[in-house]
């Protein structure tokens, strides 16, 4: 919290040029940099001039030495030593101001001619010659310690080495010119430095004045004056800094609050707030604390806070350190009437600015309404669980009834077949034949031989017997199917009982055997509707799936029954194609397709939803139950149809044995249907 108030007096910014000011430091640094740069430039200029003068003198000395070597070599070939000295003296007049000495050595390094006050040692001459046949090098003179430029040239007339000429050139003229140049450069550097210093002082002033103004404004803000503004209309970094300072002060003024404002916020808090001292005694409480618990302010202030908390074995606070570590902990606090209110307690430490020590802030949130809502939610959840349980039981019962209904449909067809076969023989004619036999039992042999009716009677009885045998065989077949269907109903009921008690046992079953069983059960409906059923499957035992046998058989029966129903109103030929195979992903696939009435595209996504049906006498349980059963067994089912009148394809996929079973949801994929 930032408040206006008395503070230490703000330090005034320096008004004069002082080394402590930023401008003075900037001027000093920039001046030293400029001076260093100037000195480096002067030294570089002097050094380059010195090297240039030395090279010029060396060039003149090398030229003089070459002429001397040539003249003296011609004189030495004619043994005219006097003439050689004369030529040497004449040539030396070209450098009489710079030439210190001139010495001629023979090939044995013996001096044969000399001019000048300084003599050169023969060993040095040999050293120069051995280092390089001809050249120039600066050496210190033995006479006065000054530097001398030594120039040497070999005497080789006609290619024969006769000796060498060594010249000593003085560098005094070079040094004089260098000193003059250095003096002029220093004066120029001083002038440039003075100009640079003046410019730096002016530039530093333009930079330092806004900074001093900013420093003064910051001091005012620190003392509590939030009305300070900087009027620097500049487009450089200082202008950006001034605008940022103005924005900062403006926002700071907007967020600055007083103690009364903070107290109003604390008093208006919905949660209970308690401020404790180091001894856990109450120093401050807000209005919410008094309203929730019914205390007066003087009943709470100065008292220890721990007795207000309920002291139960699971909520007992033993030490102050444990109390300080409480964060979002459920506790109960006593009210003035002696009741307990559930709260969520959070404790934090708040350091006191400018003083040693700290305060302890406790925030208590009343959760009575929350606990009541949780209780109601728990009761509602229990009711929902019970309702879901009953709904699940109803759905299971619906599925069982649907499966049994499919089987009962086949049983009804079988029963009709039995009834039709039982009434097939002509019992009246058989009774008439029996009466004829009884009427002629006295002369039965004559009747059978002489009477026309007697001769036809054995063939007639034989024909009746054959019809009875065929009817009996058909009744036996239908009775076997009835027995199997009754056993299947018993298995469905038993499986549901086992599933309700301990879960259904999955077993490894041959898929072709399941399909053959389903086709056999559905055969009466196939025959009655005149359907063509084609089965494409690998040899038995090739494709095995781990399923709950009764549920898997119920799924296949339901799909076959739906295919038969779809072909009921379809003109012939009416075809159902059942195929099984293993796809590239290792899944075992069962596909049942027909060329029946088809499915609308908008119904594809709804086909497995509970209660959805397109049949006038349907209930929407079959495919929904089939999808749930397949999901329980880790399989999936999809449907595809190209539209009304273009058939449908149902595809069931079981995962391979090496892959874990997962609860797959049914999906619908529109696709074209192609049937043979």
Secondary structure of 58-80 as H, E, C letters: HHHHHHHHHHHHHHHHHHHHCCC
Name the residue ranges covered by the structural domains of the chain. Answer: 1-225, 259-366, 397-501, 507-668
Rounded average pLDDT over 63-92 = 69
Distance of CA 220 to the CA centre of its chain: 49
Residue 281 near residue 305, CB atoms below 8 Å: yes
Mean pLDDT of 481-507: 63
Which pLDDT does position 664 carry in this prediction? 42
SS3 state of residue 655: coil
- pLDDT, position 343: 92
Name the one residue in this structure whose structure tokens are 């102050």. 320
| Residue-level pLDDT at 381 | 80
Is the model's pLDDT at 14 over the cut of 60? no
Residue 146's CB is within 10 A of a number of other CB atoms, namely 12
1-225 maps to CATH 3.30.450.20? yes
The whole-number pLDDT of residue 5 equals 37
Pairing of strands 329-334, 340-351: antiparallel
User: Which region among 158-162, 351-355, 368-372, 450-454 has the lowest average model confidence (pLDDT)?
Assistant: 351-355
pLDDT of 23 strictly over 50: yes
Residue-wise pLDDT tens digits, 569-591? 888 889 999 999 999 888 999 99
Assign 83 a pLDDT band (cuts: 50, 70, 90): low
180-225 confidence digits (pLDDT tens)? 888 887 788 788 778 877 776 676 667 667 777 878 888 887 776 7
Can you give the pLDDT at residue 443?
A: 77
**C-alpha dihedral, 272 to 277 to 280 to 283, nearest 10°:** -50
CA distances from 223 to 2, 219, 247, 467 (A): 11, 6, 18, 124
The pTM assigned to this predicted structure is 0.35
Q: Each residue of 524-568: pLDDT tens digit?
A: 788 888 899 999 988 877 888 988 887 888 889 889 888 988 888
Q: CATH number for 507-668: choose from 3.30.565.10, 3.90.1150.10, 3.40.50.720, 3.40.50.880.
A: 3.30.565.10
The CA distance from 629 to 627, in Å, is 5
C-alpha neighbours within 13 Å on the C-beta side of residue 610: 9
Closest CA to 509 of 626, 403, 588: 588
1-225 and 259-366 have identical folds: yes
Residue 638's pLDDT is 93
Range 4-32 average pLDDT = 53
What pLDDT, on the 0 to 100 scale, is given for residue 38? Answer: 78
What is the pLDDT, as a whole number, of residue 80? Answer: 64
Max mean pLDDT among 439-453, 477-491, 556-570, 581-595 falls in 581-595
**DSSP string covering 521-536, please?**
HHHHHHHHHT-EEEEE
The CATH number of the structural domain formed by 259-366 is 3.30.450.20
Q: What percent of the chain lies above the pLDDT cut of 90?
A: 9
Confidence of residue 91 (pLDDT cuts 50, 70, 90): low
């Amino acid at each position: 919290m930032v408040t206006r108030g008395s503070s230490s007096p703000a330090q005034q910014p320096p008004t004069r040029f002082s080394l402590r000011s930023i401008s003075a430091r900037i001027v000093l640094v920039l001046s030293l940099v400029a001076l260093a740069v100037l000195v480096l430039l002067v030294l570089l200029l002097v050094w380059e001039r010195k090297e240039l003068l030395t090279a010029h003198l060396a060039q003149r000395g090398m030229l003089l030495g070459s002429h001397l070597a040539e003249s003296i070599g011609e004189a030495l070939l004619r043994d005219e030593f006097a003439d050689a000295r004369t030529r040497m003296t004449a040539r030396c007049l070209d450098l009489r101001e710079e030439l210190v000495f001139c010495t001629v050595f023979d090939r044995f390094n013996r001096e044969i001619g000399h001019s000048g006050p300084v003599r050169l040692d023969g060993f040095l001459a040999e050293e120069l010659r051995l280092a390089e046949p001809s050249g120039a090098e600066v050496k210190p003179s033995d006479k006065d310690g000054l530097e001398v430029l030594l120039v040497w040239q070999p005497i080789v007339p006609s290619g024969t080495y006769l000796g060498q000429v060594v010249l000593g050139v003085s560098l005094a003229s070079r040094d004089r010119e260098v000193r003059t140049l250095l003096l002029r450069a220093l004066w120029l550097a001083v002038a440039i430095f003075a100009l640079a210093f003046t410019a730096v002082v002016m530039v530093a002033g333009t930079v330092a004045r806004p900074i001093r103004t900013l420093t003064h404004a910051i001091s005012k803000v620190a003392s509590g004056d939030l009305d300070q503004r900087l009027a620097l209309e500049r487009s450089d970094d200082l202008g950006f800094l001034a605008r940022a300072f103005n924005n900062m002060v403006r926002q700071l003024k907007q967020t600055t609050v007083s103690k009364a404002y903070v107290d109003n916020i604390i008093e208006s808090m919905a949660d209970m707030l308690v401020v404790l001292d180091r001894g856990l005694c109450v120093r401050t409480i807000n209005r919410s604390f008094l309203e929730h618990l019914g205390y007066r302010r003087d009943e709470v202030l100065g008292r220890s806070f721990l007795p207000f908390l309920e002291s139960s074995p699971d909520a007992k606070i033993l030490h102050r350190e444990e109390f300080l570590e409480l964060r979002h902990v459920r506790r109960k606090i006593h009210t003035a009437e002696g009741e307990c209110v559930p709260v969520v307690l959070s404790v934090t430490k708040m350091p006191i600015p400018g003083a040693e020590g700290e305060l302890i802030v406790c925030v208590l949130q009343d959760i009575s309404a929350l606990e009541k809502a949780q209780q109601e939610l728990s009761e509602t959840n229990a009711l929902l669980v019970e309702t879901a349980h009953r709904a699940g039981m109803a759905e299971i019962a619906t599925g069982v009834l649907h499966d049994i209904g499919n089987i009962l449909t086949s049983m009804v067809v079988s029963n009709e077949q039995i009834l039709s076969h039982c009434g097939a023989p002509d019992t009246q004619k058989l009774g008439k034949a029996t009466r004829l036999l009884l009427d002629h039992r006295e002369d039965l042999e004559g009747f059978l031989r002489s009477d026309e009716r007697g001769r036809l009677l054995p063939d007639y009885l034989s024909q009746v017997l054959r019809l009875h045998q065929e009817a009996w065989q058909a009744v036996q077949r239908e009775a076997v199917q009835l027995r199997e269907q009754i056993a299947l109903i018993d298995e469905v009921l038993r499986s549901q009982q086992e599933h309700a008690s301990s879960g259904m046992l999955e077993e490894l079953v041959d898929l072709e055997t399941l399909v053959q069983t389903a086709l056999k059960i559905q055969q009466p409906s196939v025959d009655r509707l005149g359907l063509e059923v084609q089965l494409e499957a690998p040899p038995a035992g090739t494709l095995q799936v781990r399923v709950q046998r009764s549920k898997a058989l119920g799924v296949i029966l339901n799909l076959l029954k739906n295919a038969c129903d779809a072909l009921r109103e379809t003109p012939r030929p009416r075809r159902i194609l059942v195929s099984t195979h293993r796809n590239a992903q290792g899944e075992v696939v069962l596909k049942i397709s027909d060329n029946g009435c088809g499915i609308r595209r908008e119904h594809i996504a709804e086909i497995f939803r509970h209660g959805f049906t397109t049949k006038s006498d349907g209930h929407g349980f079959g495919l929904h139950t089939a999808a749930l059963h397949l999901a329980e067994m880790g399989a999936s089912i999809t449907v595809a149809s190209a539209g009304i009148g273009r058939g449908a394809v149902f595809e069931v996929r079981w995962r391979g044995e090496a892959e874990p079973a997962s609860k797959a949801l049914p999906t619908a994929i529109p696709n074209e249907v192609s049937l043979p």
